[in-house]
Chains A and B, each alone.
Chain A
Amino acid sequence: MAQLKPNVFFAPWNDPAEKPLIQFKNVTKRFGESIAINNLTLDIYAQEFFALLGPSGCGKTTLMRMLGGFETPTEGQIFLDGVDIGPFPPNERPVNMMFQSYALFPHLTVWENIAFGLKRSDMPKDQIGDRVGKMLKLTQLEKFAKRKPHQISGGQRQRVALARSLAKAPKLLLLDEPLGALDKKLRNETQFELMDIQESTGTTFVIVTHDQEEAMTVASRVAVMVDGQLVQVATPDQIYEAPTTTYVADFIGDVNLIEGKSSLTDGGMDVHWDDNQPAIHVTTDTPLAARTSCHFAIRPEKVSISSEKPNAVNVMKGKIIDIAYLGNISTYYVEISAGVIFKAQATNNRRLSRRTYTWEDEIYLSWTDTAGVVLTE
């Protein structure tokens, strides 16, 4: 799609002429024996909203702290605008960071917190007030300028932290789990606020999070990290629809994974996973060589459920063994062969009492030939 309308979509990573803002070149970081970052190479472009996603301990925070200047790479270099920033201490980098704990100075007011960085820059004194006022307005904190951090609520504190880190107009803003301390509802609202602010200031954001939903919502590109290495770097829809490994497929959202062997067919391939069951047909431009072991991955919402045998490419018969009712949708756990459970999601567009399927029902699952992907890793 990006190739069709290149002017509409923001995608500098596809443009070979574009110069990246940040370049990691073969960066390795060791803490004693353990390796936090393993030979990592990554480009981040100006004005991107870049998300580092991964389980705790995958090295995403270390990566960010290296950008901030709180850790130095053991090997390799990090470039910012073409300059190796390795030897620069945090206070000499045009990079600001929003801390997970917000790290608001408890002895200073909101106004003084936001002005803290400006007072230590070469900005003339009379302009500081204007800049702080602008930041307060941007984050809708004008009323709270004279309060101390413990006198405002959690959401307000989050905005003060954001305003403080944006005040110096950094080239790059690092956000360490910025919404982690907020409750779910506030988090959803704040995500959009964050995106608005990113867009209006034009700052490059790098966000670290373990919440995949958050990463998918806010980011222009998501990097999935495991054990100090990048597994996949792509746009949220690519990550979701076209994961390159089973790990990514499993880590982002819900997925059905079936292990099998491939065979070539006309215009695609088949995945044979059980001798007593029909093979799964997949249409793809890049089929695997025959008899390669692989995984077939499909999202539960792409699997439809019906009581009569539908007319579809892939159809499978099964028995409902469990139903998870989530309000807007229900997930059905369907046993399609001994020990193999398939998840299928259906929207609850009717009231619960008139639900069509229930436990122990024999039903059919079906999906199209383009709904799933085949993965080798």
Chain B
Amino acid sequence: MRRFSWFNATSLTFGFVFLYLPMLILIIYSFNESRLVTVWAGFSTQWYGELFQNKAFLDAAWITIKVAFWSSTLATILGTMAAYIMVRAGRFRGRALFSGMIYAPLVMPEVITGLSLLLFFIALDVNRGILTIVLAHTTFAMCYVSVVVTSRLVSFDEALEEAARDLGCTPFDAFRSVTLPIIMPAVVSGWLLAFTLSLDDLVIATFTSGPASTTLPIKIFSAVRLGVTPEINALSTIMILIVTVGVIIASLISRGVSIRAKADERKAEQS
């Protein structure tokens, strides 16, 4: 039995207050009527209204979502391939370099990644825009996807693939009909991670975006540099709520799955 003392309770309470209080304050003050964000002047939803009137923000949001969708999709395909290679391909020439390139972007400061990609695009004379952001985001997000998928593939019983081959599948068929369905949850969470990373990214997007492709984080950053504004509070509240709802739904689903799996196992033992 684990002993849960007053010390544990206090540190958890303080810890979570520290983690959530700033966001809570942000949410509360987004309903503040006054433009002076630090003075409470009564409840109002006018800033949400103004936010949805602001075409610059809406455009930026649309661009961000487009970028995030394409880059996370591409990153998921490439990252899954990379993970599969890392786990299954055994030895090949340049494996060390490959694994280095997979892990390096995870620890590389964003300023370096962003700068190098910008200089690369300029050297190639590519016009910066949505495409360049997508390429940049794909590059760093695929590494995160490959880490997520790798951790699933490592625990994957290789005999399943061999069994599929034994029963008449070509390697590709075996991957499609056995491996992919089983690692699908990891692939999906890799996609979600890539999507959030892309939605969130400021530094790399700033380096690789062109004048007509301002993403939401760039917009927020330039607004925030001038101080706290109620519109940004409202925008932040919306983003926090979306993420919260998403995470709660995801965890409920995975919880339901694990509870059902446990029930199944119990049933199997009885039968």
Residues of chain A touching chain B, judged by Cβ–Cβ distance below 8 Å, are 68-70, 89-91, 95-97, 99-101, 103, 105-107, 116-117, 120-121, 148, 150-153, 156, 164-165, 168
Contact = CB atoms under 8 A, between A and B. Distances in A.
B266 to A, nearest CB: 10
B264 A90 contact: no
B173 A120 contact: yes
Contacts of B170: 89, 91
Contact of A97 (B157, B163, B177, B178): B163
A103 B163 contact: yes
B162 interface: yes
B215 to A, nearest CB: 37
A168 B181 CA distance: 23
Contacts, number: 73
B240 interface: no
15 contacts: A68-B162, A69-B166, A91-B168, A95-B166, A96-B166, A101-B159, A103-B159, A103-B160, A105-B182, A106-B182, A107-B182, A116-B177, A120-B173, A150-B265, A153-B271
Nearest to B265: A150
B159 A99 contact: yes
Given A91-B169, A120-B169, A151-B268, 17 more contacts: A68-B166, A69-B166, A70-B162, A90-B165, A90-B166, A91-B168, A100-B159, A105-B160, A105-B164, A107-B181, A120-B167, A120-B168, A150-B264, A151-B264, A152-B268, A152-B271, A164-B163
B168 A121 contact: yes
Interface in B255-271: 261, 264-265, 267-269, 271
B157 A103 contact: yes
A105 B178 contact: yes
Nearest to B173: A120
Contacts of A69: 165-166
Interface of B: 157, 159-160, 162-170, 173, 177-178, 181-182, 261, 264-265, 267-269, 271
Contacts of A117: 166-168
Nearest to A106: B182
Contacts of B268: 150-153
Contact of B162 (A90, A95, A120, A156): A90
Q: Which of B160, B163, B170 has the most CB of A within 10 A?
A: B163
A101 B158 CA distance: 10
Main secondary structure of the interface of B (DSSP, over half): helix
A100 B157 CA distance: 11
For the complex of A and B, the 4 pairs showing the least CB-CB separation, nearest first, are: A117-B167, A120-B168, A103-B163, A103-B159
Given A150-B265, A150-B268, A91 B182 contact: no
A5 B229 CA distance: 101
A260 to B, nearest CB: 48
Main secondary structure of the interface of A (DSSP, over half): loop
Q: Which of A97, A103, A105, A164 has the most CB of B within 10 A?
A: A103
A153 B271 CA distance: 7
Nearest to B264: A151
Contacts of A70: 162, 165
Nearest to B158: A103
Nearest to A101: B159
Given A100-B159, A101-B157, A105-B160, A89 B165 contact: yes
A254 B182 CA distance: 46
A87 to B, nearest CB: 15
Nearest to B180: A107
Nearest to B182: A107
A148 B268 CA distance: 10
Nearest to B161: A103
A116 B168 CA distance: 9
A101 B269 CA distance: 18
A96 B269 contact: no
Q: Which of A100, A116, A156 has the most CB of B within 10 A?
A: A116
Contacts of A164: 163, 167
Q: Which of A96, A120, A148, A165 has the most CB of B within 10 A?
A: A120
Nearest to A153: B268
B271 A168 contact: no
Contacts of B159: 99-101, 103
A101 B173 CA distance: 21
A91 B174 CA distance: 10
Given A150-B265, A151-B268, A153-B268, A99 B167 contact: no
A152 B169 CA distance: 26
A117 B164 CA distance: 8
Nearest to B271: A153
Contacts of A101: 157, 159
Nearest to A121: B168
B63 to A, nearest CB: 37
A148 B264 contact: yes
A139 to B, nearest CB: 15
A65 to B, nearest CB: 9
A96 B177 CA distance: 18
Contacts of B265: 150
A357 to B, nearest CB: 45
A152 B269 CA distance: 7
A97 B267 contact: no
A99 B168 contact: no
Nearest to A91: B168
Contacts of A168: 167-168
Contacts of A68: 162, 166
Contacts of B167: 91, 96, 116-117, 120, 164-165, 168
